Amino acid sequence: MNIFLGELIGTAILILLGGGVVANVLLENSKGQNSGWIVITAGWGFGVAIAVYVAGWISGAHINPAVTIGFLAIGKVAAADALLYFAGQFAGAFIGAVLVWLAYLPHWEKTQDPDLKLAVFCTGPAIRHTLGNLLCEIIGTAMLMIGVLGIFHANNGIGSGFGPYAVGILVFSLGLSLGGPTGYAINPARDLGPRIAHALLPIPGKRDSDWSYAWIPVVGPIIGGVLGAFLFQGVIGML
């Protein structure tokens, strides 16, 4: 149960702080309204760092099914444990999204644009292009996986103390560099759990949850996680 609880807590924190910064920037009459992409990417990066610090000692804080699947592909996670990781991650993402909704409760009605309300919960493409959007998620998640494996490599010397902060810097960097085309989901739970919350919650004036796009931030990160894991193990890790 430690795996499930650690992932639930860590992923809920990730979405509370990550979705929370998007709400702060996008929703009407928020004090952070229109503060921009730098604030959003910084909020996600710091959110990841805090989530890993809080839950890392419990479950390892994958907080991302793509990371778990990447570890599974290279033998760093047992198949039986992977199911517990997934359950905690998706449940935590849903809970985190509900907490964001509650934290910004009076702002949903004030915000007229339904696309902005959806963007608080899940990603969407700047230009809708199936192959391009899929490739962006694959490349971004592969870089995430390579970065995580590099940060925590036994020969690196960063250690557990600075490691979570380094992962936060990695996510901040990914958002700044590769977040423009799709909003960089790079995490199936981060996108799907809150998207389901958006569909279920009584948000005034909301639109549909864009289910036609929803497979891309799930499939793309899974492919990228496995690709990144194999690239690191088979190329970089052999040096």
User: What's the predicted TM-score (pTM) here?
Assistant: 0.95
* Cα–Cα distance, 74 to 72 (Å, whole number): 6
Spatial CB neighbours of 227, under 8 Å, sequence gap ≥ 6: 138, 142, 145
* Cα–Cα distance, 192 to 94 (Å, whole number): 8
The answer to whether residue 155 scores a pLDDT higher than 90 is no
CATH number of the domain enclosing 9: 1.20.1080.10
Q: What local confidence, expressed as pLDDT, does residue 29 receive?
A: 97
45-73: per-residue pLDDT in tens? Answer: 999 999 999 999 999 999 999 999 999 99
pLDDT band at 1 (very low <50, low <70, confident <90, very high): confident
* Cα–Cα distance, 32 to 220 (Å, whole number): 31
Average pLDDT of 121-139? Answer: 98
176-191: per-residue pLDDT in tens? Answer: 999 999 999 999 999 9
The answer to whether residue 239 scores a pLDDT higher than 70 is no
The answer to whether residue 235 scores a pLDDT higher than 90 is no
Q: What local confidence, expressed as pLDDT, does residue 208 receive?
A: 98
Q: What is the CA radius of gyration of the chain?
A: 17
The answer to whether residue 27 scores a pLDDT higher than 90 is yes
Q: What local confidence, expressed as pLDDT, does residue 160 receive?
A: 63
State the DSSP code for 76: S
Domain that holds residue 212: 2-238
77-92: per-residue pLDDT in tens? Answer: 999 999 999 999 999 9
Domain count for the chain: 1
CA torsion, points 71, 219, 140, 30, in degrees to nearest 10?
-110
Residue 20, exposed/middle/buried by CB under 10 A (0-12, 13-18, 19+)? Answer: buried
pLDDT band at 158 (very low <50, low <70, confident <90, very high): low
